[in-house]
Structure formats: structure tokens, C-alpha cells
Amino acid sequence: MSHQDRVIYFFGATGDLAGHKIWPAIANLFVRQESFRVVAFGGKQAQSDDSFYDWLKNTLKDHPVQTEQWLEQVEFHSVDLLDPALELPIQLDAADIHIFYVALSTHIYRPLLERLRTFLPHPKCRIVLEKPIGTQLDDALDIQAHLRQLFSEDQIYRIDHYLGKWTVQNVLALRFANSIFEHQWNQKYIDHIQISIAETLGIENRAVFYDNIGALRDMVQNHLVQLLCLIAMEPPASLNPEAIRDERVKVLRALKPLVNHNVVRGQYLAGHIKGEAVPGYLESIPKGKSSNTETFIALKAEINNWRWAGVPFYLRTGKRLATKCCEIVVQFKSVPHPIFKNQAAFGSHNRLIFRLQPEESIKIEIFEQTNDNRRSVRPIQLSLDAPNFRGPNPDAYERLLLDALKGDPTLFVREDEWSEAWRWVDPVLREWGESEAPPYAYQAGTWGPTESINLLARERRTWEDPNA
Ligand code: BG6
């Protein structure tokens, strides 16, 4: 294939996400000698080719890509997608593969689709969409209806970059390539599961975007829900994309409806992160604006099926928390009859811990006899991780972009998964929309509002401390 054969039309090419994740991934692919061209569309940050190329060089200044060389493959256009008179400089050659990569605010999705209508349908096009697609269920379904006028479902790639992370994929390998876990993987042996995605960053340069979105739409409806599906799904019959997606969607369909009573939403106040003072959320959005947007969520999810009945899944995520980390903790039940004298005091320390970031690891926590007393035990951790044996591991966005170019949808979210996830969070979003009640406050640099601790305490459980 010559490099003319694959073209990415990148909308939102000068946004925050583009700078942080997408351009570095594109540059990595160029370094790996994947051949494709990029036609980038940006808005106000870059009015001319020169200012765009300067911005891009600066964005990638620490990246090993030979910028001058590969910039020849990147064409830039400054456009206003809301201008009805706009004609996009796009020419779709029938023989080529075209990817429309859309990293825009959800309110621009419909106008963009209207602009694309001129060129479509086209059998060799795919559209990759960043989340959130829509603001709540009815809006999301309406965008979906617009999409389906132009693309068939197998051309629509809804991206959730958590699905592209190596350890997330390794959950499937660990669960379904080994027989030793399957017998314990159910309500008989598992007490509960915790999934935490904690960030120390605030909302950075995304105030306007974030204030319209909040943590439930930004992190729960997609990343956390997808992690839950991978932990809870039944074994698929094969690694065929549809077989895997079929099992993920069954979990979503079995979720017990989410109720506000099981959700804690918080918003950060000023505080300290790693010794540095940081402003509160309200000081980070345009002056004088009041806002009930949540920057923290903790919730209890339950799955109504034989495997998981009665096993709570506690999910939490937040900005400006004590530490950056992403962890899935599978907490097993205690032995039915403890015979070591101090074991009851520990509770159960049989845990399987998947750590996705900052470093990737998998650990099992078990008891062993203490050195000085054969009647006592202590918890120890065994690491299943073997980073030294792994080769270079592509970043999530790099892997997903490559899959989109190749036409492999496995790590993308299918329409039914995506709409079920919306359906699950929608009643809570509606309730918040109708209420004046503000989110609970928490200080930056902590683990969120105390109500999040109470959510577990009322069931005599505690959150894992990822630093412990
Ligand atoms: C994005 C969210 O999807 O994920 C951001 O929009 C969040 O708000 C980011 O910061 C976290 O991703 P990662 O890979 O850095 O954990």
C-alpha cells in the first residue's frame, strides 16, 4: 500500500485531547512506519498553517518523531464547523480507506455529520467517535440516528481508550486463558469488587467542555462501565469481536437500575496535591459562574444474574484526588472457619489486584505464616507481573488508531453496549437535572467526600488504599 491509501480526517485536531493523547499516538505510528496521511481540522487555537505546525511541533517536542519528515504527511485546515456555508476540503477516492476521527464537543456532532453528508455513503469510510456521544440518553440516541443515516454499524468505531490499555486486555487473558480463577469467579467466593480511577489533575484547559459534562458522563458511562464488563462478563466462545461484545452487553443488560441513593457526587475545593496548593473547581471555571458539575463519583453497582447476585461493584473516580492510579480490586470472601488465631482480625486478605496505572501490575494477596509464630499469619503480596519479559507495549491510543485503520472493531464499543450504558446512568442524570442539590465538597488532595466512605461503611466495607 502506498501512503496515499489510508487517510485520517482528524476533526478537533487542536483540542486538549488531541495534544495530550491523539497526536503523540499518531506520531508513534509514523515512527513505527505505518503509512497514512492526516488531514487535520482545527478551530480557534490555530488560524493558519504556520501557527498549527508550530503548535504541533511544540506539542511533540519531547517525542522521538522526526517532525520535519512526517509533517509532510499532515495537511491542516482551520474551519468553523458551525458555519452552514462551510465546504470541507475533502475528496474521497473510491479506492482508499478513509477514517473520520472526531474529537469534538458532542454538540458539534450533528453539524459535522451534516457537512459529511455530501461525501457519503462511501463503503471504505469509518468514523471514530470520542465520548461522550450525547449528553443524555435521548440526545445520544438522536445522534446515533443521524450517524446511521450515513454509516452502517460496522463503520462506526466508538472509542473508549481504556479498552486499549494493555492491562485491561490482560484481564481477559487472565480470566479466560487460565482455569484456576473461573471456579472462584462468582458470588460464592467473591465478597465485592472495587474499581477506582483516580486523577490528581484538575480540569486543566477544559473548563467549558468539562462543566457541561461532569464525571458521570466523562468517566463512568464509558471507562468504568467497560472495566466492570470485562471483570463480570461470561467467557466468550472465541476472540471474535462480536463474541466479546455480545458478552459485554449482556452484563450491561443485567445491571440493576442505578439509583441516586447509591451514588455520591462530589466537587473539589482548593487544597494541596503533592505539597502544592491547587485552586478549587469553581475557581477553575469562568469567573462568577456557579456550578453543580461533579468532579467525583462513587457508586454501588449490582448485577442481576446467577454469577453476581449479591456482589456489590463499587466504582469511583475523581479529579484532584490524593494520587493518580487506576486499580481493580477483587476481594474474596474470608475462609468459613479461621483456625489461625489472628486471622479473623485481618478480615479477608485474599485479593486479586489489577493495577492499570501509573504502573501496570497484577498482584495476588494471600496469607502466610509469620516468622515467629506458627499459629499466626500475615498478608503478603505475590506479583504476577513480568514486565521484563514483555516487549515494547503500544500506548492505548496508538493501538486503537491502528485497529481503526485495519478495521478491527474488537476494542471499540458497539451501539447496543453504548446505549445500554447511557440507559443505566440516565435516571440519575435526570434526577440531578431536576434538583438544586449541590454535590458534596471535598478538598483537593484527598480521596473525595466523606459520603463516599459512608457508601461502603454502611455495608461494613472500606475502600482499598491504593498506596498501601
Ligand atoms: C478521558 C477523560 O477520557 O480520560 C479525562 O475525558 C481523563 O477527563 C482521562 O482525564 C483519563 O485517562 P488516562 O488514560 O490518563 O487515565
What is the 3-state secondary structure of 144-206? HHHHHHHCCHHHEEECCHHHHCHHHHHHHHHHHCCCCCHHHCCCCCEEEEEEEEECCCCCCCC
Nearest CA to ligand 1 atom 4: 219
Q: Ligand 1 centre from 450 Cα, in Å?
A: 24
Name the one residue in this structure whose C-alpha cell is 512506519: 33
CA–CA separation, 200 and 143 (whole Å): 32
- Catalytic residue flag (residue 146): no
**Cis bond upstream, residue 236 (ω within 30):** no
List per-residue pLDDT tens for the chain, 468 residues long: 444 489 999 999 998 899 999 999 999 998 888 889 999 998 865 667 788 888 888 888 888 777 777 788 899 999 888 888 888 888 887 768 899 999 998 989 999 998 888 877 777 889 999 999 999 999 999 999 999 999 999 999 999 999 999 888 889 999 999 998 889 999 999 999 999 999 999 998 888 889 999 999 999 999 999 999 999 999 999 999 999 999 999 999 999 999 999 999 999 999 999 999 999 999 999 877 789 999 999 999 999 999 999 999 999 999 999 999 999 999 999 888 888 888 877 777 799 999 988 888 889 999 998 877 778 898 899 987 655 546 667 789 999 999 999 999 999 999 999 999 999 999 999 999 998 899 999 999 999 999 999 999 999 999 998 876
Strands 271-273, 276-278: parallel, antiparallel or unpaired by DSSP?
antiparallel
Element (H, E) at 379: strand 377-383
**Cis bond upstream, residue 132 (ω within 30):** yes
Per the CB < 8 A criterion, the answer to whether 367 and 341 are in contact is no
- Residue 327 CB–ligand 1 contact under 6 Å: no
Q: Ligand 1 centre from 360 Cα, in Å?
A: 16
> What is the CB neighbour count within 10 angstroms for residue 20?
13
- Residue 199 CB–ligand 1 contact under 6 Å: yes
- Residue 218 CB–ligand 1 contact under 6 Å: yes
Index of the ligand 1 atom closest to the CA of residue 218? 6
Q: Ligand 1 centre from 1 Cα, in Å?
A: 34
CA–CA separation, 409 and 413 (whole Å): 8
CA–CA separation, 231 and 64 (whole Å): 36
Long-range CB contact pairs, 89-95, < 8 A, 24+: 89/39, 90/9, 90/39, 90/119, 92/119, 92/122, 92/125, 93/4, 94/122, 94/124, 95/5, 95/124
Beta-carbon contacts of 419 under 8 Å, excluding residues fewer than 6 positions away, are: 137, 140, 141, 144
Best mutation site among 218, 227, 316 for ligand 1 pocket (most ligand atoms within 8 Å of CB): 218
Per the CB < 8 A criterion, the answer to whether 156 and 390 are in contact is no
- Residue 130 CB–ligand 1 contact under 6 Å: no
Catalytic residue among 223, 261, 272, 349: 223
Q: How many residues does the chain have?
A: 468
- Residue 420 CB–ligand 1 contact under 6 Å: no
Half-sphere exposure of 427 (CA within 13 A, CB side): 10
Nearest CA to ligand 1 atom 8: 218
Nearest CA to ligand 1 atom 15: 199
Nearest to 96 by CA among 124, 126, 128, 127: 124
Best mutation site among 161, 294, 360 for ligand 1 pocket (most ligand atoms within 8 Å of CB): 161
CA–CA separation, 445 and 434 (whole Å): 30
Per the CB < 8 A criterion, the answer to whether 208 and 284 are in contact is no
CA distances from residue 408 to 141, 157, 236, 241, 309 in whole angstroms, order as listed: 24, 9, 17, 8, 34
**Would the pTM count as exceeding 0.75?**
yes
